[in-house]
Structure 1
Amino acid sequence: MKRQLIAAVGVAAMVVGLAACSSDGKKSEDKSGSTSASAADKYKGKTLKVWTMTGSAPKGWTDAVKTEFETTYPGSKVEFTAQEWGGIGAKVTTALSEGSVDVLEVGNTQTAGYAASGGLLDITKDKAAFGGDAWPANQNESAVLDGKQYAAPWYVTNRVVAYNKDLWAKAGLTGAPKTLEDFYGDLEKLKTTEGVADPIYMPGQEWYVYFGLLSSEGGKIAKKDGDKWVGGLGSPESQKAFETYKKLQSYSVTGPKDKDEATPQQKDVFGKGNVGAMIGLGWELPDEKAALAKDKIGFFPLPGKTADKPSGVFLGGSNLAIASQSKNTDMAKDFLKVALNDKNEGLFAAAGITTNKPALDAAITGDFALAAKAAAAAGSITPNTPNWASVEDNPNPVKEFLTAVLQGGDFASTAAKYDDIIAKKLNQKQ
């Protein structure tokens, strides 16, 4: 998987003007109007166009799904096209309006935008047939808008603590900390250990970490108040989350308070071998050219206040949706049944990726993957609104809020300032 997997945000604001179509409900035919004599050959001569993003599906998934579908429905064809995340918003918008794609992968923070525009088919009545009864609520939230199901959750990933095993041992530390207090104690020991330049590398604008801590406290960056959105940075929950965030960030000697995890790339900082820990995604880990070898890196979920539950995390990932303008909606629905069945969804678990069915995740192995799976249970997504992308666009008010308060700004007045900015962005007319 690649970094762009989770960076698929910011396109929802581009999704406008798509007209939704609905099926006419006649017999079991699709929008092409053809009726088949049997279930096996009802898609004979038809081609289903499916878009997935480069680096998303695990090895073998595409071939397995294509083979199963084309075998189940002789004479049918599934045409997969791998898309790049760069510039995908405009490309998807055009394809949805033209009806040139049938099934597509969309980032979970994109889904509300495409759904609100009318670009995605309402699949509420089909949820159970796709295995939806097993989907975790925190994953499925991103696929629902105004009470209607517009996509199926496909997979998620999230951040965990990566630590330098050699420095950990040098500091006399053994095993993963069970609580945040334990973790603070570990960082204190690392701070006085020879050869440790930074107990943890954590720049001040690592807002995804703050997001998780906020969700742990039961708070949200923004929420609906009647028919309007209001910011949540000034809430009591946010203040508690910020105190935890501030304490963690205080152990980052070299982490700038006005930069995020990509400036510089934290994998390069951690990869030097003199940093005790970092909090990041799988593709943010040092590569093979780094001084810190991969087998010298251990993982654990960021602990919570008590040992029974880790801190919350932001769940990044993707959903699978059907284009509302597709002329093959019945075929697309049958495709999703195949794509999301236990065998094919299980290929994600085998590759160490958290799936949309907890029962399948028992097959997950690997230290990073196991830590991510444990943390995912306490995960959540960003506010589910078509306008969320405008918040993440630079200048990101959450990042600016964190920097301002870390640099000594008054919490209440600073939070009020940026809550107002968030509310204005989220309440924009589409």
Structure 2
Amino acid sequence: MAAGAAALAVAVAGCGTSSSGSDSGSGDGKTLTVWLMDGSAPAALTDALHKEFQDAHPGVTVKYEVQKWGGIQEKLTTALTSNTPPDVIELGNTQTAKFAAEETLEDLSGDVSALGGDQWLAGLKDSLTWDGKSYGMPFYASNRTVIYRTDLFEAAGITAAPTTRDEWVAAIEKLKAANAADPDFQALYLPGQSWYALLSFIWDEGGDVAKQDGSAWTGALDTPQAKAGLDFYKKLVDVSGTKAPKDTDEATPQQMEVFGTGKVGMMIGLPWELAGAVKANPDLASKTAAFPIPSKTAGKTAPVFLGGSNLAIPAGSQNTDLAKDYLKLLSSKKYQDMLAEGGSVPGTSTDTAKLATNPVGKALAESAPNGKVTPTTPTWAAVEAGQNPLKDMLTAYLTGAKSLDQATGDANAALTKTLAG
């Protein structure tokens, strides 16, 4: 899910097929082709959804096709420009602006209310808005929380999860002191290039990575707020004594594998990363919990990147009305609750009661309303897919290769150039 929001690669092998003819919104032997991504929706949800939809639309068959994230952008590009695109597609929320700008998605501005728009989280709504219009509906999201070892907290005398940055730093110091005899112990595992975590600190300072002027975007990494966010990141690295490489992100090595060794007190991660650690080390199942990334301001949580997916209707769909009915059904509380039960932040419902039934889900539910997304511009994909200036900036500053001003200035220039296309 994280990768889906973050860096969606894409490529194709054939297009989905829709039935030809005018769209009356009813049966007549029509086929509604739906592309969802691997791992996005549990089979129990899609089985129930498709049965209910077909029962309500006699004569209509849902052709459900599960796609792989690898190569999906090229596959979508090919499919959306064909004469027979699928009728409903799932897009990573950092991808949506690209296809909206290419005019290959249906404008759903007039359908927002029917799709539960009054319940959409602000960050998710931003991700599907292009040029003032809405080109889809949120499907699901997830965000990073601080995953921690409850037993190690207790042994170190930490009686409550941190709720501010200062409390977080204090907890790190207590964990270090309590485990000083173990040279392999890391109070916080924090890779040098975890730029999604950096976003939280920049946003918490009131800054951003880029700013918009009309249709143009320019970098904002050289602002005092962005510098303060980067400086706090370095503080965490320094105080924790993390052994993570400073020139790679959380995927190299996989931080869930490091956490699974049992030698780590905390990591900033996603639910699936905790699941991976527990799979490798089942003893962790009863010894882990999570809390929202703390803010510098008491009583608040830090803003978090909402990684996830949107659902859209291709502009070339020959079954637009049926596709809208499909989205309306999926946006209903019944299916949004099923997404929450599966551990995702529901896209079209602010009711997270089903999500907050365990400590990790509770942390997700608490922080999601304060979620944000990366700049909604087609050129952002090139930032993530190329030589990411935020990663370069982090490594340069953390290793001492560049000063704070030099690292942020160089990264800002590179970011502005990339955003200009």
TM-based fold match above 0.5? yes
Q: 1:355 offset after TM fit, Å? A: 1.0
Q: 1:3 offset after TM fit, Å? A: 5.6
Among candidates 222, 234, 237, match of residue 222 of structure 2: 234
Q: Which moved more, 1:50-59 or 1:164-173?
A: 164-173
Identity of aligned residues (%): 43
Q: SS in structure 1 opposite 2:392?
A: helix
Among candidates 332, 340, 344, match of residue 335 of structure 2: 344
CA contact (8 A) 1:273 1:291 kept: no
Match of 2:266 in 1: 277
Q: Counterparts in 2 of 1:6-405, with a 5 A limit?
A: 6-11=5-10, 32-33=21-22, 35=24, 42-98=26-82, 99-194=84-179, 195=182, 197-250=185-238, 251-285=240-274, 286-290=277-281, 293-364=284-355, 365-405=357-397
Residues 3, 415 of structure 1: alpha-carbon distance in 2 compared, 3 angstrom cutoff: closer
Task: Give the root-mean-square deviation of aligned CA atoms.
Answer: 2.0
Q: SS in structure 2 opposite 1:91?
A: helix
- Render the CA deviation track for 1:314-367: whole Å, top value 9, x for unaligned: 110000000101111111111111111121122112223211244421222221
CA contact (8 A) 2:8 2:73 kept: no
Q: Distance in 1 between matches of 2:73 and 2:289?
A: 36
Q: SS in structure 1 opposite 2:394?
A: helix
Aligned residue pairs total: 406
Q: SS in structure 2 opposite 1:66?
A: helix
CA contact (8 A) 2:331 2:348 kept: no
Q: Distance in 1 between matches of 2:308 and 2:193?
A: 21
CA contact (8 A) 1:43 1:331 kept: no
Q: What TM-score comes out, normalization by structure 2 length?
A: 0.92
CA contact (8 A) 1:177 1:303 kept: yes
- Render the CA deviation track for 1:26-75: whole Å, top value 9, x for unaligned: xxxx982265xxx7xx2231110000001001341111211111111111
Q: SS in structure 2 opposite 1:104?
A: strand
Q: SS in structure 1 opposite 2:148?
A: strand
Amino acid aligned to 1:9 = L
Residues 161, 7 of structure 1: alpha-carbon distance in 2 compared, 3 angstrom cutoff: same
CA contact (8 A) 2:303 2:370 kept: yes
Q: Distance in 2 between matches of 1:306 and 1:8?
A: 30
Q: Distance in 2 between matches of 1:253 and 1:331?
A: 52
Q: 1:413 offset after TM fit, Å? A: 2.5
Q: 1:8 offset after TM fit, Å? A: 4.6
Q: What TM-score comes out, normalization by structure 1 length?
A: 0.90
Q: SS in structure 1 opposite 2:212?
A: strand
Q: SS in structure 1 opposite 2:198?
A: helix
